[in-house]
Structure 1
Amino acid sequence: MVSTEPFIAVVDDETPVRIMLGRLLRLADYRVGEYACGEDFLASLDGPELPLCAIVDLHMPGLSGLEVQSRLRAAKLKVPVVFITASDDPGLDRSALDLGARGLLRKPFSSDELLEAIGTAIGPRNDAP
């Protein structure tokens, strides 16, 4: 049976953040893939389904969020990315947007802000009757 729930990826090295975001997104009727690092997320893209959107932490051990976005672009994978970060560095906004990010949220952000950013990133859904 094919699921009709849209698939969202959460990429963050902090387990509590992944759990919290996963719960929030499942409550909003999304299927969620949770990844502890950029490498695991990128490896998952060899599967049969690309996520409609990826929520990616900017600062992680191994590949940073910007490096993940750069590799997505290099591989020509059209996965919209919304970055999340605890940093208040204004230069991150420009770097993220230059790489094609659809948004950047600074922690702490509200559930509504996250869901709005995802909605903007994936555009209107045509799965309503």
Structure 2
Amino acid sequence: MDDELPVRVMLGRLLRLAEYRVREFATGEEFLGSLSTRLPLCAIVDLHMPGLSGFEVQSRIRAASLRVPVVFITGSDEDALERMALAAGATKLLRKPFSSDELLGAIGGAIGSVGRTRMGG
């Protein structure tokens, strides 16, 4: 999810080309509301959004004990963000602009980490 429409459109196109089923959300509130009907294999969450921040979204996912791996994206170059993102439970932090290979690799790693957890490995 990203509050910027052009970013959501670009991410959606890229992921559909990679044969992922995609749902796009402009806010953390919209995304969290959708989790009662369907859990995604992975969530791509912008750290800085109006309303709930990416960290707040991640915190609510964890508080609900949902197994949804999160890949954070950000336009910020603040050094501490990567450490904070990983400490919050994200599988990866990507800084904009990132390549499609970086994004697809992060998603693959996130999905694989959940599979290993569910299998006990």
TM score, norm. by length of structure 1: 0.86
Give the corresponding residue for 1:102: 91
Give the corresponding residue for 1:74: 63
Equivalent of 2:112 in 107, 119, 123: 123
TM superposition shift of 1:94: 1.3
Q: How does 1:17-96 map to 2 (within 5 A)?
A: 17-47=7-37, 49-96=38-85
- In structure 1, give the amino acid aligned to 2:42: C
TM superposition shift of 1:35: 0.1
- In structure 2, give the amino acid aligned to 1:65: G
TM superposition shift of 1:75: 0.6
What SS is found at the alignment partner of 1:70?
A: helix
| Identical pairs, percent | 74
Gaps in structure 1 of 5+ consecutive residues: 1-10
> RMSD of the alignment, in Å?
1.1
- Greater Cα offset, 116-125 or 32-41: 116-125
Instruction: Return structure 1 stretches of 4+ with deviation > 4 angstroms.
Output: none
- Tell me the matched-pair count: 114
- In structure 2, give the amino acid aligned to 1:93: E
What SS is found at the alignment partner of 1:36?
A: coil
Q: 2:8, 2:86 → 1: CA distance?
A: 23
Gaps in structure 2 of 5+ consecutive residues: 116-121
Q: 1:70, 1:57 → 2: CA distance?
A: 14
